[in-house]
Homo-oligomer: A and B are copies of this chain.
Amino acid sequence: MKKISGADYAPKSEIPCVEPGIKYNIAAVGIDHGHIFGMIEGLTSAGATLKYIVDVNDVNSNHAKRLKDSYPEAEIITESEIVFNDPEINLVCTSAINSERSKIAISAMENDKDIFSDKPAITSLKAFEEIVKTIKKTGHKFYVYYGELIHNESALYAQEQIRLGRIGKVIQVIGTGPHREGPIGSRADWFYDHDQFGGILTDIGSHQVAQYLAFSNANTATIKYSHVGNYAHQQHPGFEDFGEFSIIGDNGSSGYFRVDWFTPTGLSSWSDGRIFILGTEGTIELRKYCDIAIDEHGENNVYIATKDGEEYINVTAKVGFDYFKKIIEDSMDKSLNILDQANILEPTKIALLAQNNAELISWKNENK
């Protein structure tokens, strides 16, 4: 068996793309979800400057303080209007409560700023149409933090291996996205409120669609079946702890995805998230956040089988994250059109449709 070592893959450098003397200013508006840290880290590593941290409720919140510790030059404020009225702000970032994000996005674009939202950026089909209208009307850019794709080196590595033809033509992608709920009381109330989190497929399902489109090279997909359930959280009737969906891409490839909130307490990671890509000439498996029962492997484990054999490679710190740089470049010079707005919106739309059409399932025939 061939084991590729890290030396075989050239990591991309994280050289900032903002030229000296020029500033690309960003602001964090709505920091309810911890994803804001990864979003700001990615952008500032690529050269952006964090100017404002907006917490409308509390300038002393843990998230605000943690951001301030990392970016002491940023100012903590409670008024998002200050951001919207500041002509120096290029991009607004938000990880507000899911259902609030699209409103912030619309305000940002209408105030001449681009927007980078955590997923789910949009929690209803009505809001989706409003976002599309605002993008068209304002000409501003809308970016989504599909972190399990754009901020995951194993996913980016897989995309590149597919592009290089390592496994032939992609027939199918299976993805599992288990998540850890955490100890009782560790989640805010909105986490369990369906209107606010938007449904499990809208939320963590959108990561999976983003990965499907990236790996399969499909432009869009039709939902064949989707299902959501609340199997073990009866104390939170609005919650969904399980979801799954089958899709067929416009290129004829297939996708199946499962998401859930059942990461076992004893798992070393928050998720044993996997991706299985079936090609005509080979397969790629990603063990994204851990390699079960092999602690020393850590994150970003890639297993490839081709006509030449089986390979294992860990790609942590070998790929880098150039999506943040692309956002800044795209946002600074719109004529480049590096990032296709359709590609950014499509995973969100498909996830929303999967959610809206999902069959609700529960335990049956308990007395078997």
Binding site for B on A (CB under 8 A): 1, 3, 167, 169, 171-172, 174, 176, 178, 217, 219, 224-225, 227, 229, 231-232, 242, 244, 246, 248, 250-254, 256, 258, 260, 262, 264-268, 272, 276, 278-283, 285, 292-295, 303, 305-312, 359, 361-366, 368
Q: A244 touches which one: B172, B268, B285, B308 (CB < 8 A)?
A: B172
Would B242 and A172 count as touching, CB distance under 8 A? Answer: yes
Q: A225 touches which one: B1, B224, B242 (CB < 8 A)?
A: B224
Residue pairs across A and B with Cβ atoms less than 8 A apart, 21 shown, are A3-B293, A169-B232, A178-B278, A178-B283, A217-B368, A219-B368, A227-B248, A227-B254, A229-B252, A231-B280, A232-B280, A244-B254, A252-B361, A256-B256, A260-B278, A265-B307, A266-B282, A266-B305, A267-B310, A292-B310, A293-B310
Most buried by B among A171, A258, A294, A308: A171
Would A252 and B171 count as touching, CB distance under 8 A? Answer: no
Would B307 and A266 count as touching, CB distance under 8 A? Answer: yes
Nearest B residue to A171 via CB reads B231
- Neighbouring B residues of A276 by C-beta, 8 Å: 176
- Neighbouring B residues of A253 by C-beta, 8 Å: 363
- Neighbouring B residues of A244 by C-beta, 8 Å: 172, 246, 254, 256
Would A266 and B306 count as touching, CB distance under 8 A? Answer: yes
Query: Can you tell how many copies of this chain the complex includes?
Result: 2
- Neighbouring B residues of A171 by C-beta, 8 Å: 229, 231-232, 242, 260, 262
Shortest distance from the beta carbon of A272 to any chain B beta carbon, whole Å: 7
Shortest distance from the beta carbon of A297 to any chain B beta carbon, whole Å: 11
- Neighbouring B residues of A361 by C-beta, 8 Å: 248, 252, 254
Instruction: Give the CA-CA distance A310 to B295 in the complex, in Å.
Output: 9
Instruction: Give the CA-CA distance A285 to B287 in the complex, in Å.
Output: 13
Instruction: Give the CA-CA distance A307 to B265 in the complex, in Å.
Output: 4
Shortest distance from the beta carbon of A14 to any chain B beta carbon, whole Å: 29
- Neighbouring B residues of A364 by C-beta, 8 Å: 250-252
Decide yes or no: A283 and B272 within 8 Å by CB, A305-B267, A309-B266 being known contacts.
yes
Most buried by B among A231, A244, A303: A231
Decide yes or no: A283 and B254 within 8 Å by CB, A1-B295, A224-B227, A293-B1 being known contacts.
no
Q: A305 touches which one: B169, B232, B292, B306 (CB < 8 A)?
A: B292
Instruction: Give the CA-CA distance A303 to B250 in the complex, in Å.
Output: 36
Q: Name 8 extra pairs, CB < 8 A, besides A174-B258, A292-B312.
A: A1-B295, A171-B260, A172-B260, A227-B246, A231-B252, A253-B363, A264-B282, A294-B312
Shortest distance from the beta carbon of A194 to any chain B beta carbon, whole Å: 19
- Neighbouring B residues of A278 by C-beta, 8 Å: 178, 258, 260, 262
Instruction: Give the CA-CA distance A307 to B267 in the complex, in Å.
Output: 7
Instruction: Give the CA-CA distance A312 to B267 in the complex, in Å.
Output: 13
Instruction: Give the CA-CA distance A293 to B281 in the complex, in Å.
Output: 17
Shortest distance from the beta carbon of A221 to any chain B beta carbon, whole Å: 11
Decide yes or no: A262 and B280 within 8 Å by CB, A172-B244, A310-B292 being known contacts.
yes
Instruction: Give the CA-CA distance A294 to B287 in the complex, in Å.
Output: 15
Instruction: Give the CA-CA distance A246 to B3 in the complex, in Å.
Output: 35
Q: A303 touches which one: B172, B246, B292 (CB < 8 A)?
A: B292
- Neighbouring B residues of A365 by C-beta, 8 Å: 219, 250-252
